[in-house]
């Protein structure tokens, strides 16, 4: 059995941006400028959080609350969705539940400002581990955007989780 040390999840601060960028690179995610990560930490509609262990950032989630009008799968006039832009956990800290905790904390943070009806994201088709992770959280595949990614080229799997009754 893997022994795991405690970790804390807290709101991201602008000074976390370089550590978040390093995790993005380690995880091979689509690149964002460091300044964009710092800006995300202070946006009012952002739910950016980091996981920290012994003062070191070991995971992050960048998500934003978006109001969707005329949603394709819900008849309501408008609904609020948590759009997940980036989520990563350091290789040495994976399969400890940190990714799931980051997602749940981001949803809870969004709910402090109102209802969060769904969560949405796009993920590389080849990233089967992340797709399994999201399916385990209740996401289902809703579409495919062909050749959405470059370096390397890949399709994007679109996924949605219904959070209305969650």
Ligand X SMILES: CC(C)(COP(=O)(O)OP(=O)(O)OC[C@H]1O[C@@H](n2cnc3c(N)ncnc32)[C@H](O)[C@@H]1OP(=O)(O)O)[C@@H](O)C(=O)NCCC(=O)NCCS
Closer to ligand X by Cβ: residue 13 or 132 = 132
Pairing, β 56-69 against β 118-124: unpaired
**Measured from the CB atom, is 113 or 140 closer to ligand X?**
140
- Cα end-to-end distance, the chain, whole Å: 30
Phi, psi at residue 35, to the nearest 5°? Answer: -60, -30
Q: Kindly tell me which of 81 and 127 has the beta carbon lying closer to ligand X.
A: 127
Rounded CA Rg of the chain: 16
Pick between residue 75 and residue 147 the one whose CB is nearest to ligand X.
147
Closest CA to 152 of 129, 119, 115, 125: 125
Q: Work out how close the CB of 8 gets to ligand X at its nearest, in angstroms, rounded to a whole number.
A: 15
Q: Shortest distance, CB of residue 71 to ligand X, whole angstroms?
A: 21
Q: Which of 11, 73, 80 is nearest to 40 (CA)?
A: 11
**In the complex with ligand X, which residue's Cβ is closer, 115 or 126?**
126
| Pairing mode of beta strands 118-124, 78-89 | parallel
Taking the complex as a whole, the smallest distance from the CB of residue 143 to ligand X amounts, in Å, to: 15
Q: How far is the CB of 73 from ligand X (least distance, A)?
A: 20
Contact 156, 121 (CB under 8 A): no
Q: Which residues bind ligand X (CB under 6 A)?
A: 27, 29, 87-89, 94-100, 121, 123, 127, 129-130, 132-133, 136
Shortest Å distance, C-beta 116 to ligand X: 18
């Amino acid at each position: 059995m893997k022994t795991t040390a405690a970790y804390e999840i807290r709101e991201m601060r602008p000074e976390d941006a370089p550590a978040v960028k390093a995790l993005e690179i380690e995880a091979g995610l689509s690149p964002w400028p460091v300044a964009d990560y710092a800006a995300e930490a202070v946006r009012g509609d952002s739910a950016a959080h980091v996981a920290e262990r012994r003062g070191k950032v070991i995971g992050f989630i960048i998500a934003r609350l978006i109001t969707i009008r005329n949603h394709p799968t819900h008849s309501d006039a408008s609904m609020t969705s948590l759009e997940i832009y980036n989520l990563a956990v350091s290789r040495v800290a994976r399969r400890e539940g940190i990714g799931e905790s980051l997602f749940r904390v981001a949803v809870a943070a969004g709910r402090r400002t109102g209802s969060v009806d769904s969560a949405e994201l796009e993920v590389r088709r080849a990233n089967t581990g992340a797709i399994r992770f999201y399916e385990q959280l209740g996401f289902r595949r809703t579409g495919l955007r062909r050749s959405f990614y470059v370096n390397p080229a890949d399709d994007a799997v679109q996924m949605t989780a219904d959070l209305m009754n969650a």
